Structure 1
């Protein structure tokens, strides 16, 4: 394995300096404070500035289509993290836009992609339902053809539609044939969120983020907004689902995150580094502190090396396991949130609140472990039925 550092050319060094200067100007302290207060993980001013500078389009496109080179893409990703760019809504937008490019009807595709690149169109995911759990194929939100078939009527509700209040469209999975097997009953739509009958209600999670529940009541959607074939929705949704789950191969050149959870892992790494600096000599004078801190850092390092869906599980589980220890080592001040007077700003308090949710977002850890068991290890599907009672004669 090659552990050498990438040598940047003079042009790439200049690009990094340009990006740092640009992000420092647009991602101000006010932006970061406002993002923590709202939990939106989105700032429209920043988003539009990124678009106007051409960064959104270059990030979305491949190098052959005019996007970033591989090295500049990596520089861009790392600099966005360092600057704490509110990123979640762009993440869902970028993901859905790939399906739009592939499956949307031409007039919808061209309009949406133009808006994605200029920042005025944002896209969110309408998968999970209040009673559906992680299995999106059990969808009960219904879409029924009306009249001559040029319009569909949608009724139902979706949970955890993060960013819906900042988006123009939702990538919505619906059931169009309740009598068919669940993977052959689904149809995808790109639904405008300003249509009559759509109600967005905010939900605040324990880590301070905002997500939404969205209700659809007799929402009339033109067939032109259908993505792919009727009852062929599973084909449409599989690619963005795999991307959300992190079930993709790592890049051969090493210029990409090895796991989808690496962004969130940055909070964990920063918290561990700051607490190690805080305790200083205590780590050697008090063997229990040294042992617990060392164990946490070793766990973090191991999880950072896990790739693809394995990293998705390893990083989330590690965050859950080490968060309580790091807060306990730091002491009472670690319980104060970032920015609070007397706080340490070490992120350990945020990580403690975020840790339970990081094992739920995009699917639960239990689901991912079952996916690894079935698709990697070749084991059978789990049996959830209660065991049969032994008959005593």
Structure 2
């Protein structure tokens, strides 16, 4: 394996210098502190600056469409992570924008897409319902045609970024008597429509998401994406992106798996813990001298490296599960000071392992639970068939 420094051509090196200068100017300590306090994973100033610099358009479009080439795209992705740029709302916006481009009318594309690339239009995902869990095809949010428009009633959970967005990519049920995959219709609903209420929810890791209520929300038919009751076809592309099952290019410049952002934080945390246990105490000893500490740290590092090498859905499961498994060990080897959060006096590793511990459970839920993805791997990658949840049959004579 070659660990030597990658040598960039002059044009790509100039681009790297440009990106680093941009990010260091806009992703300041104040931005990171404010984002941590709000839990938004979004900063409007940074987002608009990216739009004004042409970065949003260049990231969205392929090279043949005027976007970045493969190397510059990879540079941008890696540097955004290293600078901890707030990015989640751009991620959902880009997913929805591709559906608008594919399924929206020319008028809707003209209304939405210019603002997407300038940064003024942000979009979020209206999938999960309070009682629906990961099976989004069981949507009970109803859209009913009343002669000149659609009337929508229902509610959606975990609509992250709704309070910073202009539109929501909304799954609705337009035929409750049809099979669940034949009853869905997708809409791009303006979030300033009368009858919409957005309520913030804080997750255990401090992030903000939302529950959104729809009460007799009137939506013009031009905001419909795809055919009536044909919403599953509209959803297939966005779900593939969110699940991390899109095809990787052979040049090796794509992430091995989705959730590499979370994996990078786990790797950074392992490094911080390793540094902490390697420091000498006033007595001249190091925590790492204890063989159990060395073993548990080594095991965490090995599992972390293995998870970052797993591809596609395998990697998604491996990273999230490894975060859950290693976080308690990392905190335990540091002792009680590991329970102190970031920027707290006395925190053993500046709160890195404490945050990893709180973040890990959420990473096994994003876009579907680990159990859902394990079933998908079993069915689609290993060919094991669908799980049978029916009650066990009684034995003869019982």
TM-score band, normalised by the shorter chain? Answer: over 0.9
Please show how residues 167-182 of structure 1 align to structure 2 within 5 Å.
167-182=165-180
Structure 1 residue 383 corresponds to structure 2 residue 381: no
Question: Is residue 339–residue 351 contact of structure 2 (8 Å, CA) maintained in 1?
Answer: no
1:264 aligned residue: 262
- Quote the offset at 1:330 in angstroms: 1.6
Partner of 1:48: 48
The partner residue of 2:244 within 236, 243, 246 is 246
CA drift at 1:175: 0.5
TM-score (norm 2): 0.96
Is 1:295 the counterpart of 2:299? The answer is yes
- The CA deviation at 1:209 is 0.2
Choose from 309, 313, 317 the match for 2:313.
309
Q: Which runs of structure 2 are paired with 1:215-254 in the superposition (5 Å)?
A: 215-254=213-252
5 Å-filtered alignment, 1:332-351, equals: 332-343=336-347, 344-345=349-350, 347-351=352-356
User: Where in structure 2 are the equivalents of 1:15-30 lying within 5 Å?
Assistant: 15-30=15-30
How far has the Cα of 1:5 moved from its partner?
5.5
Please name the residue that 1:197 is paired with.
195
* Rounded Cα–Cα distance in structure 1 between residues aligned with 2:86 and 2:160: 13
TM-score, normalised via structure 1 length: 0.97
Q: 1:14 to 1:152 in 2, by over 3 A?
A: same
Partner of 2:57: 57
Gaps of 5+ in 1: none
CA distance in 2, matches of 1:327, 1:80: 27
Q: Structure 2: how far apart are the matches of 1:66 and 1:194?
A: 33
Contact 2:151 2:217 in 1 (8 A): yes
Unaligned runs of 5+ in 2: 280-285
Match of 2:209 in 1: 211
Q: Does residue 331 in structure 1 map to residue 339 in structure 2?
A: no
Q: RMSD of aligned C-alpha atoms?
A: 1.4
Q: Report if aligned partners of 1:303, 1:315 keep a CA contact under 8 Å in 2.
A: yes
282-291 or 72-81, larger mean C-alpha shift: 282-291
| Range with bigger deviation, 358-367 or 325-334 | 325-334
Name the count of aligned residue pairs. 391
1:165 aligns to what? Answer: 163
Structure 2 Cα separation of the partners of residues 133 and 52 of structure 1: 38
CA contact (8 A) 1:283 1:293 kept: no
